[in-house]
Structure 1
Amino acid sequence: MVNYLLKITAELENLTNLQPQGGCDDPDFSYLFKVKCGRCGEVSQKETCVTLNDTVSLPVGKGTTNLIQKCKFCGRDGTITMTPGRGQPLTLETSESGKYAPLMLFDCRGYEPVDYVFGGLWKAESLEGTKFENIDLSSGEFAEYDEKGECPVMISNLRATIDMVK
């Protein structure tokens, strides 16, 4: 059992609390990344999608996981199980300090997640309290105007890291 913690950061202008639309533990939010096979080292060509709501029974023993996928190169099965409760929104303070905010913990067996892709819908709020929802970060940035605060708001320079944790 190896756990990987997905962490994100970005440059936030007049925004804070960047997180998936339904919160860090949103059961419908899709995490997209490429996976590397633990046996042969092959990296998937397409992004793998993992969602908390999607569960499948383990082929051996009892329990469930969020993804079972066979390596197209060597044929070995791997599983990815999401562990909610570790995620936090990316705050302006965290962003300005150059730190990363934890988003989701993955228990991986046979696979290692690599190259996270910012997909799905996100939300954030301005420093004046205006809520911005349904933010699409797939293009790598977001820009809008906060009428209440009379200032531009922006998300840019999105970065993710996937760290092995114990």
Structure 2
Amino acid sequence: MLSLILTAELSGVTELRPQDTEESPYYYTFKVQCTSCREVHPNWVSFNRFEQHEIPGSRGEANFVWKCKLCQRTHSASILAAPKAYEAEAEGKKKGQKIIDIECRGLEFTEFKADGEWEAKGIESSTPFTGIELLEGEWYDYDEKAGDEVAIKEISWELQPVNPRPYLQARVGTDVIVRLKWGQTEYKGRLESIDSYMNVLLRDTEEFIDGKPTGTLGLVLIRCNNILWMGSAENVEMTDLGLR
């Protein structure tokens, strides 16, 4: 998992966030890298958190589905929740704050571009500001109610890995999917436990290769260094074609 971290100096405004609704979604724009072969896609990619795309091999859906041209593996990513607002800090102070969390399966994002429009509101007046563009790294306007200039300056972005341990501990007792680093092999089962080395124990485990079921394995221990990615199996159903 990755978190998109924003650091900025806000003057006169607060609650900075993307304009992101189902009627008018925000398209998050990234550079993407395959974690299998380390190939970086040369172009920017964009997706929103409302559209769902089927993952080839009938392994469910995701906001973003991408096939690496070098190794031909298909990877995916999904935004887990609505964006959080960036709150103004004390005068003259900046602090990185999380905007979104992204669940990545077989890929990672290496760079973010703030395409699209953002919104904020005046600290004193609550005046709404919409259509804010952050690509230039700064933004200025005037708050008529407050009678003062407002600004967003020194904008920077960071894609920060999320500690997977709390994420996995919270899913003990639920169904998960584990994909290995080789052989297009996946396991679907109930997460029984996870140890301090991030080794995973699954119960009622089913094996899939190239998206097709190969049999039931029961209780399975998977060493952490064999795992490419893990994710929730929520809304993933068994069919005669594999995982859907």
- SS of 1:45 mapped into structure 2: coil
Residues 146-157 of structure 1: matches in 2 within 5 Å? 146-157=143-154
Q: Is the 8 A contact 2:31 2:44 kept in 1?
A: yes
Deviation at 1:26, TM superposition (A): 8.6
Distance 2:41 2:90 in 1: 32
Instruction: Label 1:40 to 1:94 Cα distance change in 2 as closer, same or farther (>3 A).
Output: farther
Residues 74-89 of structure 1: matches in 2 within 5 Å? 74-85=71-82, 87-89=83-85
Distance 2:30 2:46 in 1: 7
Deviation at 1:62, TM superposition (A): 4.6
Q: Is the 8 A contact 2:56 2:74 kept in 1?
A: no
RMSD, matched Cα: 2.1
1:17-56 Cα shifts (integer Å, max 9, x gaps): 1001137x99711110101110121222111112112211
Q: Taking every aligned residue pair, what percent have the same amino acid on both sides?
A: 29
Which gives a bigger RCO, structure 1 or 2 (Cα 8 Å, sep 6+)? Answer: 1
Q: Is the 8 A contact 2:8 2:95 kept in 1?
A: no
Distance 2:92 2:27 in 1: 27
Distance 1:70 1:95 in 2: 46
- SS of 1:93 mapped into structure 2: coil
Distance 1:81 1:94 in 2: 33
Q: 1:120 aligns with which of 116, 120, 139?
A: 116
Q: Which amino acid aligns with 1:12?
A: L
Residues 6-155 of structure 1: matches in 2 within 5 Å? 6-22=4-20, 28-85=25-82, 87-93=83-89, 97-127=93-123, 128-155=125-152
Q: Is the 8 A contact 2:19 2:25 kept in 1?
A: no
Deviation at 1:72, TM superposition (A): 2.6
TM-score by length of 1: 0.87
Instruction: Label 1:94 to 1:120 Cα distance change in 2 as closer, same or farther (>3 A).
Output: farther
Deviation at 1:159, TM superposition (A): 1.1
Q: Which amino acid aligns with 2:42?
A: Q
Distance 1:94 1:88 in 2: 19
Deviation at 1:110, TM superposition (A): 1.4
Q: Is the 8 A contact 2:75 2:105 kept in 1?
A: yes
Greater C-alpha radius of gyration? 2
Distance 1:18 1:104 in 2: 13
Q: Which runs of 5+ in 1 are unaligned?
A: none
1:82-140 Cα shifts (integer Å, max 9, x gaps): 2115x421111279543222111111111111111111110011122111011111222
Q: Which amino acid aligns with 2:136?
A: S
Q: Which runs of 5+ in 2 are unaligned?
A: 165-244
- SS of 1:92 mapped into structure 2: coil
Deviation at 1:73, TM superposition (A): 2.8
Q: Which amino acid aligns with 2:134?
A: L
Q: Which amino acid aligns with 2:150?
A: V
Distance 1:27 1:114 in 2: 26
